[in-house]
């Protein structure tokens, strides 16, 4: 049944057969890929494994993501782009998003000439299930993107709601769980993929794992979708250096956990601090590594912080988020510098 959801030209694609994907068995002399016979340390003269097998086995061991269900993109960005190209016909199909949310879903839809159906969140920034059902019924989007915890609100949506939407939606439902590690009592959609293979989950090495510079996005899907993703992606989309950075993060999973714990307790503490400031109108509860606040005059607070060398994100142009600023939870010294500046502000 998922077979019918793919664009037919993707489903029937004959993949590029790379030198490294053709042979099986063990070999020690590699004269198949026109690489240089020497290039310095670490085997960087060789093309990387197109299937990222070592990294994906470690992901299975550490993250408990089954090997046959995982794939890696050059950041989640590449995965979003690929999924749109796999499932949506340019000039014909649409995707659905719930605003406010992460900006790249609609950008990649537009680069593929795929239209975007927008459903606003409720005023309390929850999923508007009825409105989503209506829009799905009317527009038949090929992909519904749901970001939980949501960026920039920090809100986790109930898994029951996400599953109901994914059940009702006869297209693909992509659940972006980039911030999952920072959420307490989080229920992932991953265990429900085998029951409903139209669910795809995205994770990333960019946030909790601390490897944003390596560009490592994670696709978790039914093996049938994973197989099509593997054949449709650029063969060497994740560099050798990046695959090694991913392995490094998993090797130091304890340090990652410790940093996440530290981030969460800093978030709690910073949230209380923000609530104590007279000029902060709202501190939105967050399950991610950032906090969204509402203040009366965003522009002047933003400029003031910038004049102190501190960059935050103005989210005021998002629907429902007038006069809001999104602040990432940084290191202890970064947070101290920020708190000092906020204390001295008398806006
Ligand atoms: C940061 C973020 C990502 C991660 O993107 P990468 O391309 O993997 O760095 C994915 N989704 C959301 C909602 C994000 O905020």
Q: pLDDT value at position 104?
A: 97
Distance CA(293)–CA(310), nearest Å, equals: 16
pLDDT attached to residue 145? 98
Residue nearest to atom 15 of ligand 1 (CA): 151
pLDDT at site 347: 67
Which atom from ligand 1 is nearest to the alpha carbon of 207?
1
pLDDT of residue 136: 98
DSSP 287: S
Q: How far is the CA of 182 from the centre of ligand 1 (A)?
A: 14
Q: How far is the CA of 207 from the centre of ligand 1 (A)?
A: 8
Distance of CA 195 to the CA centre of its chain: 22
Residue nearest to atom 10 of ligand 1 (CA): 178
Distance of CA 290 to CAs 281, 325, 337, Å?
17, 10, 16
Residue 39: the pLDDT is 80
Residues (pLDDT < 50) of the chain are: none
Domains and CATH numbers, the chain: 2-251 (3.40.640.10), 254-344 (3.90.1150.10)
Average pLDDT, the chain: 96
pLDDT of 22: 76
CA distance 43 to 195: 41
The predicted structure's pLDDT at residue 23: 75
Q: How far is ligand 1, taken at its centre, from the CA of residue 127, in Å?
A: 20
Q: Checking DSSP bridges between strand 70-74 and strand 282-283, what pairing results, if any? A: unpaired
Q: How far apart are CA 20 and CA 310, in angstroms?
A: 46
Using the mean position of ligand 1's atoms as its centre, give its distance from the Cα of residue 204 in Å. Answer: 7
Give the atom of ligand 1 at the shortest distance from the alpha carbon of 150.
13
Q: Which two tokens stand for residue 50?
A: 């197109």
DSSP output for 44-112: TTSPPPTT-HHHHHHHHHHH---GGGEEEEEHHHHHHHHHHHHH--TTT-EEEEEESS-THHHHHHHHT
Residue 34, token pair as written in the block: 């026109």
Atom nearest to 79 CA in ligand 1:
7
Rounded to 5 degrees, φ, ψ at 12 are -95, 5
Q: Whose CA is nearest to atom 3 of ligand 1?
A: 178
pLDDT tens digits for 74-107? Answer: 999 999 999 999 999 999 999 999 999 999 999 9
Query: Among all chains, which residue has been given the structure tokens 């099509």?
Result: 228
Ligand 1, CB within 6 Å, residue ranges: 75-77, 102, 147, 151, 176, 178, 204, 206-207, 212, 217
* End-to-end alpha carbon distance in the chain: 58
Atom of ligand 1 nearest to the CA of 206: 9
Element (H or E) spanning 275, and its range?
Answer: helix 253-275
Query: Which residues, at least 6 apart from 291, have a Cβ–Cβ distance to it below 8 Å?
Result: 154, 267, 270, 271, 274, 283, 284, 326, 327, 329
Polymer length of the chain:
347
CA 222 to centroid of ligand 1, rounded, Å: 21
How far, in Å, from the CA of 294 to the mean position of ligand 1? 23
Say which residues have a Cβ less than 8 Å from residue 186's Cβ, sequence separation at least 6: 149, 156, 177, 180, 287
With the most atoms of ligand 1 within 8 angstroms of its CB, the residue from 107, 182, 204, 290 to mutate is 204
The helix/strand/coil state of 116 is strand
Q: Compute, in angstroms, the gap from residue 69 CA to the centroid of ligand 1.
A: 20
The protein residue whose alpha carbon is closest to atom 11 in ligand 1 is 178
Burial of 60 (0-12, 13-18, 19+ CB in 10 A): middle
């Amino acid at each position: 049944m998922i077979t019918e959801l793919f664009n037919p030209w993707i489903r029937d694609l004959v993949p590029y057969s790379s030198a490294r994907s053709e042979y099986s068995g063990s070999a020690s002399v590699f004269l198949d890929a026109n690489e240089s016979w020497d290039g310095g340390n670490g085997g960087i003269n060789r093309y990387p494994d197109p299937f990222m097998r070592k990294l994906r086995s470690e992901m299975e061991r550490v993250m408990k993501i089954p090997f046959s269900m995982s794939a890696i993109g050059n950041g989640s960005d590449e995965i979003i782009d690929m999924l749109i190209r796999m499932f949506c016909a340019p000039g014909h199909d649409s995707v659905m998003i719930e605003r406010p949310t992460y900006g790249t879903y609609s950008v990649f839809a537009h680069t593929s000439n795929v239209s975007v159906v927008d459903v606003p969140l409720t005023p309390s920034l929850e999923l508007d299930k009825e409105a989503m059902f209506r829009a799905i019924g009317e527009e038949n989007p090929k992909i519904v993107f749901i970001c939980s915890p949501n960026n920039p609100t920090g809100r986790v949506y109930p898994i029951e709601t996400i599953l109901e939407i994914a059940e009702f939606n006869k297209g693909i439902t992509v659940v972006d769980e980039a911030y999952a590690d920072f959420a307490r009592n989080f229920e992932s959609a991953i265990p429900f993929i085998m029951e409903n293979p139209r669910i795809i989950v995205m994770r990333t090495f960019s946030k909790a794992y601390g490897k944003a510079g390596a560009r490592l996005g994670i696709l978790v899907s039914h093996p049938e979708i994973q197989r099509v993703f593997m054949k449709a992606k650029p063969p060497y989309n994740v560099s050798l250096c990046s695959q090694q950075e991913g392995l490094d993060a998993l090797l130091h999973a304890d340090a990652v956990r410790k940093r996440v714990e530290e981030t969460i307790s800093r978030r709690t503490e910073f949230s209380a601090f923000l609530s104590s400031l007279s000029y902060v109108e709202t501190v939105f509860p967050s399950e991610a590594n950032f906090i969204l606040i509402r203040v009366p005059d965003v522009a002047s607070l933003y400029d003031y912080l910038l004049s102190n060398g501190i960059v935050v994100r103005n989210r005021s142009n998002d629907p429902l988020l007038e006069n809001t600023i999104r602040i990432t939870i940084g290191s202890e010294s970064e947070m101290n510098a920020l708190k000092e500046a906020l204390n001295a502000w008398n806006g």
